[in-house]
């Protein structure tokens, strides 16, 4: 087989893999990821369901790829707020519109804590990055006098991320929970400059 032909096949394979990820993300967002979702993805891509796993090691690898795509799309949601506190409420609003992906994230994050799990590294690295980026934003705001300085920026970041995850879990059980508003109020109350800073 010629090198150019091999490259062409690789490019087509990569293109098909990306098509599957994009399609699965869209399907899971509205229809969920259980039941006939994979069959629906295969139909939309134009392949048999078994063919999906020619491009992925298994269902878990596909689900992880979908979650990574969800994260990529999240960055586009925030506009100027590419990371940190300003990005959280718009992401929460988007999560409400994509209940299937929100459920997938909650289920996958709860089961991936075992180091042997296929998504363990993804979630470990994701939490590290989210806490780090949020802490950088908080530290910048602390220096500007916008955020309390009596609590470490990393701890404030962890508490804010924990509140986001907790509000999201509550919303999964009660759709009257307003995640975005809850986050805005948390940021206003928990992170507000302390009385000693205002003197």
pLDDT in tens, 19-36: 999 999 999 988 888 888
Number of domain units in the chain: 2
pLDDT attached to residue 5: 54
Domain of residue 20, CATH code:
1.10.10
- Domain termination residue (choose one: 35, 55, 75): 55
- Given CA atoms 172, 173, 176, 181 in this order, what sign does their dihedral have? negative
Note down the domain range covering 144.
60-198
pLDDT attached to residue 158: 97
75 shares its domain with 162:
yes
- Domain termination residue (choose one: 14, 30, 55): 55
79 shares its domain with 174:
yes
* pLDDT tens digits, 64-84: 999 999 988 887 765 555 568
81 shares its domain with 1:
no
* pLDDT tens digits, 137-187: 999 999 999 999 999 999 999 999 999 999 999 999 999 999 999 999 999
Higher pLDDT, 10 or 174: 174
pLDDT attached to residue 198: 59
- Domain termination residue (choose one: 40, 55, 70): 55
100 shares its domain with 23:
no
Q: What's this model's pTM, rounded to 2 decimal places?
A: 0.82
155 shares its domain with 98:
yes
pLDDT attached to residue 27: 92
- Given CA atoms 138, 83, 136, 64 in this order, what sign does their dihedral have? positive
142 shares its domain with 178:
yes
47 shares its domain with 66:
no
30 shares its domain with 6:
yes
112 shares its domain with 194:
yes
pLDDT attached to residue 13: 77
104 shares its domain with 17:
no
77 shares its domain with 149:
yes
47 shares its domain with 65:
no
Six-digit token string for 164:
């986001």
């Amino acid at each position: 087989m010629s090198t150019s032909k091999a490259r062409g096949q690789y490019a087509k394979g990569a293109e098909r893999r990306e098509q599957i990820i994009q399609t699965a993300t869209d399907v899971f967002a509205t229809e969920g990821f259980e039941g006939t979702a994979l069959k629906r993805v295969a139909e939309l891509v134009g392949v048999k369901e078994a063919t999906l796993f020619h491009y992925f090691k298994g269902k878990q690898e596909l689900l992880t790829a979908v979650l990574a795509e969800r994260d990529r799309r999240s960055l586009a949601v925030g506009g100027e707020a590419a990371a940190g506190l300003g990005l959280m409420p718009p992401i929460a609003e988007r999560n409400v519109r994509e209940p299937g992906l929100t459920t997938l994230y909650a289920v996958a994050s709860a089961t991936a804590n075992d180091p042997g799990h296929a998504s363990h590294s993804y979630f470990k690295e994701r939490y590290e990055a989210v806490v780090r980026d949020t802490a950088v934003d908080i530290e910048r705001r602390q220096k500007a006098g916008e955020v309390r300085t009596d609590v470490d920026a990393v701890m404030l970041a962890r508490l804010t991320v924990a509140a986001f995850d907790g509000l999201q879990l509550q919303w999964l059980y009660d759709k009257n929970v307003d995640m975005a508003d809850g986050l805005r109020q948390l940021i206003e109350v928990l992170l507000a400059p302390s009385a000693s800073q205002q003197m």
